[in-house]
Structure 1
Amino acid sequence: MPWRRQLRLIVLLLLGVLFAPPLAAQAVAQLPFKNRSDEARYQRLTVQPRCLVCQNENLADSKAEPSRDLRHQVFAQLQAGNSDTQIKQYMVDRYSDFVLYDPPVKRGTWLLWFGPLLVLGAGAGVVIHTGRKRACAGTPVAPQAEEQW
């Protein structure tokens, strides 16, 4: 009766495939907030900054270790009674303006904010200059009949 043994093995494999994903899912630790307003502030403060490792993820969605550490820092500062501005300033002081999705317009970020406009203006200048140069050159004139050689 080897076919019964194979059938049992197939059933066990199917059950393993069926029940393995929930067992492998990582449980997210719930943070002990004092009240709902602190939880809402935490959500708002972790959605705004970017992940330091993943370029297009925010702190709340990132699974990277540095983001997890920074989320715990945000939670600790909330528990300490720091304001939203103080917490954001802590992140900027530690990780620079890179941590913000919308860095402030200041001397160090001018190129970031106005660089695309400068490149666009330079491209438009090249197109206009090339167009004028071609217009001034004119169209070549066909030789006259008596000018033939």
Structure 2
Amino acid sequence: MTRLRALLLALAGVMVLSSPLAAQEPAALPDRPLASPGQEARAQALFEVVRCVVCQHESIADSPAGIAGDMRRLIREEIAAGATDQAVRDDLVRRYGDYVLFTPPVRTGTWLLWFGPAFLVLLGLAGLFAMARRKTVETPPLSPEEERRLADLLAGERLGPDPDASAPHDGR
């Protein structure tokens, strides 16, 4: 019975360890260039301006992800069907949103993307300017009565080491 249990545990361990391999994205199919060199050049130019939705920092021309291969294939199909470059971009934006383009259009929905960084810089500069213009508060000098009370307090205090305190490194 213990051999069967050990065998089942070993089998379960192998399944757990191999499950990430099965969860990986399949490799992209090899690209098939268009027959027309002009159309292929248009497709390659579009590949450079379209962001991979998986990699996010790479164009689909550079991405090895399967979805990037699908996007390349889709662009080639649309170009072969006679679509203009703008029509291809519009279709990709319709499918994946403005983020799919490295330079999304300027419109109400993308104002934060386009103007947000400049607004933050201006806000920081305004804060620095406000801090620089702030007047320093001068502490008024002590009155003669306050100076006398302070002198009395300092004279009455015993200054020096505390006899109950021990040295930090006294060897104990």
TM-score, structure 1 normalization: 0.71
Shift of 1:75: 1.0
Shift of 1:79: 1.3
Letter in 1 for 2:137: A
Distance 2:119 2:32 in 1: 46
Seq. identity, %: 36
SS at match of 1:148: helix
Higher helix share: 1
Distance 1:113 1:73 in 2: 28
Task: Between 95-104 and 115-124, report the one with greater CA deviation.
Answer: 115-124
Shift of 1:109: 0.6
Structure 1 position 148 matched with structure 2 position 147: yes
* Aligned positions of 1:45-124 closer than 5 A: 45-124=46-125
Shift of 1:147: 6.2
Extract unaligned runs of 5+ from structure 1.
Answer: 1-25
User: Given that residues 92 and 100 in structure 2 are in contact (C-alpha distance below 8 angstroms), is that contact kept between their aligned partners in structure 1?
Assistant: yes
Hey, what does 2:39 align to over in structure 1? 38
User: How many residues get paired?
Assistant: 122
Q: CA RMSD in A?
A: 2.3
Distance 2:52 2:147 in 1: 75
Query: If you compute each CA radius of gyration, which structure gives the higher value, 1 or 2?
Result: 2
Letter in 1 for 2:42: R
Distance 1:114 1:136 in 2: 35
